[in-house]
């Protein structure tokens, strides 16, 4: 009897455990679409990078490849310091730039994970100079000059300039001509290493699921972005320009996108930047784009600028070619002198370039659904938040309305702007419009049922 009970208990525990695993996998997979699981934080007491680590741990995520529930998605992360101080007028724009830098760096992480070309070379050159060979400084600088040129040129700052040609770290401040006597190397070693990498990948449907901002462990204001890319998200991105694509279906939300946005607190709105994907009440994906600007100055400029940024973010979500290249040149040269001493010179250099190149995207049906002026929780500055959405439904409606507009233009062209009817029309005083008296400064209104 005890054995039977143990077997039943074991089966029950295995069932519960497997259910939890499936639930965790499904939850992790839905992070890119579930507004309740995506996080935006502006906090001045917790380091943003640590918040990202806690988020990954909570959802069983790791940077790089994540196989879940028979499918695979990629996770990448980057952070960037905001250039402007929080009390400067240009802080909000600088913060947006920092977000875009971090987003671009995170996308580059994904691109290089998918593929990158590497090339390298190394060399080690050793040289020795005999006693009868003039030192390089003397041979190349002093000897070509006449006696009068030496007297006039190789003194003071002029000599400093010549010495700097061979020693970039030379500082002649408060140096006498006697101090400017340069030790000549009898031997030298020069090690050179060239490392180059290049990656070109087409990324479609990549979105943030996490962003946080606040002081880092050094007290510098930092923006952190965590992004995800999956096969399902590429289908949503493709549907922007291809309405025939089969869209992923998700759980039907009890609230509409509009209501989900209105339920966000001002603190969350202030912290959210970039594109998200959420399920709507029909279980269809909707692309949400958040953009911000400072809340002072021209209201028209603020709204137009944020709407433009939000729309371009949707285009970047649809398609971007990530091109990254890096060169790492390591050079060290050591000079050995006849007095037994030596000096090492570091001539290394590192360069990296990341480009995100997007094609022209025919964006139809994207529009502002929430525009709000709020206070940023850390800086206490007034900002505007503009949220632009795109959905398969709005796409179809915009295409139909666009077709109707084109048809009307065609009809007008066919009738030469109506001039072909001018002889068939007779003016009638009975068709004149009378005046309308209104109380106060109120415009003429229309019944929406007439639209």
Angle formed at CA 50 by CA 48 and CA 56, multiple of 5 degrees = 105
Instruction: Please say whether the dihedral angle defined by the alpha carbons of residues 262, 264, 266 and 269, taken in this order, is positive or negative.
Output: negative
pLDDT of residue 89: 86
- Identify the residue with better confidence: 144 or 11: 144
- Identify the residue with better confidence: 23 or 210: 210
Among the residue ranges 174-183, 184-193, 199-208, 434-443, the one predicted with the least confidence is: 434-443
Q: Stretch 74-79: mean pLDDT, rounded?
A: 93
- Above 90 in pLDDT, residue 340? no
Percent of the chain with pLDDT over 90: 44
Among the residue ranges 192-196, 270-274, 335-339, the one predicted with the least confidence is: 335-339
- Above 60 in pLDDT, residue 81? yes
The reported pTM is: 0.73
* Contact criterion met (CB below 8 Å) for 360 and 146: no
H/E stretch holding 104: helix 91-114
Cβ density class 71-101: b for 16+ within 10 Å, e for less: eebbbbbbbbebebebeeeebbbbbbbbbbb
What does the alpha-carbon distance between residue 295 and residue 273 come to, in Å, rounded to a whole number?
Answer: 16
Decide the pairing of beta strands 39-42 and 207-215. Answer: parallel
Give the 3-state secondary structure of residue 275.
strand
139-170 pLDDT tens trace = 555 555 554 454 444 455 556 666 665 556 66
Local confidence band at 183 (pLDDT 50, 70, 90 cut-offs):
low
- Above 70 in pLDDT, residue 395? yes
- Say how many CA atoms lie within 13 Å of 383 toward its Cβ: 28
Q: Which residue in the block uniquely carries the two structure tokens 């048809």?
A: 407
Q: Stretch 340-361: mean pLDDT, rounded?
A: 90
241-293 pLDDT tens trace = 888 888 888 888 999 999 999 999 999 999 999 999 999 999 889 999 999 99
Tokens representing 249 are: 């279906």
Q: Stretch 87-97: mean pLDDT, rounded?
A: 91
Distance separating the N- and C-terminal Cα atoms of the chain: 75
What is the average pLDDT value for the chain, to the nearest integer? 80
What does the alpha-carbon distance between residue 317 and residue 331 come to, in Å, rounded to a whole number?
Answer: 40
Percent of the chain with pLDDT over 70: 75
What does the alpha-carbon distance between residue 230 and residue 71 come to, in Å, rounded to a whole number?
Answer: 9
């Amino acid at each position: 009897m005890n054995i039977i009970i143990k077997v039943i208990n074991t089966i029950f525990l295995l069932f519960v455990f497997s259910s939890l695993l499936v639930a965790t996998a499904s939850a992790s997979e839905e992070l890119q679409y579930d507004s309740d699981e995506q996080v935006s934080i502006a906090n001045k007491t917790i380091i943003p990078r640590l918040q990202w680590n806690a988020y990954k741990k909570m959802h069983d995520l790791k940077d790089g490849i994540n196989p879940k529930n028979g499918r695979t998605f990629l996770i990448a992360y980057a952070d960037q310091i905001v250039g402007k101080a929080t009390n400067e007028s240009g802080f909000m724009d600088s913060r947006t730039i920092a977000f875009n830098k971090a987003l671009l760096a995170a996308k580059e992480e994904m691109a290089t994970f998918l593929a990158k070309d590497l090339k390298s070379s190394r060399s080690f050159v050793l040289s020795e100079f005999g006693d009868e060979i003039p030192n390089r400084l003397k041979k190349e600088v002093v000897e070509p000059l006449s006696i009068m040129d030496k007297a006039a040129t190789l003194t003071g700052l002029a000599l400093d300039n010549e010495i700097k040609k061979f020693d970039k770290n030379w500082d002649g401040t408060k140096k006498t001509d006697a101090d400017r006597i340069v030790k000549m190397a009898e031997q030298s070693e020069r090690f050179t290493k060239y490392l180059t990498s290049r990656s070109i990948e087409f990324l479609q449907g990549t979105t943030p699921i996490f962003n946080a901002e606040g002081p880092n462990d050094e007290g510098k204001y930092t923006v952190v972005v965590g992004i995800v890319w999956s096969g399902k998200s590429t289908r949503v991105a493709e549907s922007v320009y291809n309405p025939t694509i089969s869209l992923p279906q998700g759980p039907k939300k009890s609230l509409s996108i509009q209501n989900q946005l209105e339920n966000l607190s001002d603190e969350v709105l202030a912290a959210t930047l970039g594109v998200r994907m959420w399920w709507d009440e029909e279980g269809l994906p909707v692309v949400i784009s958040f953009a911000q600007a400072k809340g002072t100055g021209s209201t028209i400029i603020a709204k137009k600028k944020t709407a433009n940024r939000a729309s371009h973010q949707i285009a970047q979500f649809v398609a971007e070619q990530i091109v990254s290249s890096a060169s790492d040149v390591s050079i060290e040269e050591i000079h050995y002198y006849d007095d037994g001493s030596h000096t090492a010179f570091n001539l290394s250099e590192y360069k990296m370039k990341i480009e995100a190149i997007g094609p022209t995207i025919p964006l139809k049906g994207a529009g502002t659904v929430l525009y709000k002026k709020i206070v940023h929780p850390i800086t206490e500055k007034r900002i505007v938040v503009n949220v632009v959405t795109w959905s398969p439904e709005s796409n179809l409606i915009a295409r139909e309305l666009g077709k109707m507009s084109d048809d009307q233009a065609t009809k007008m062209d066919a009738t030469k702007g109506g001039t072909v009817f001018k002889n068939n029309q007779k003016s009638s005083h009975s068709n004149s419009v009378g005046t309308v008296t209104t109380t106060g400064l109120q415009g003429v209104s229309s019944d929406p049922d007439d639209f």
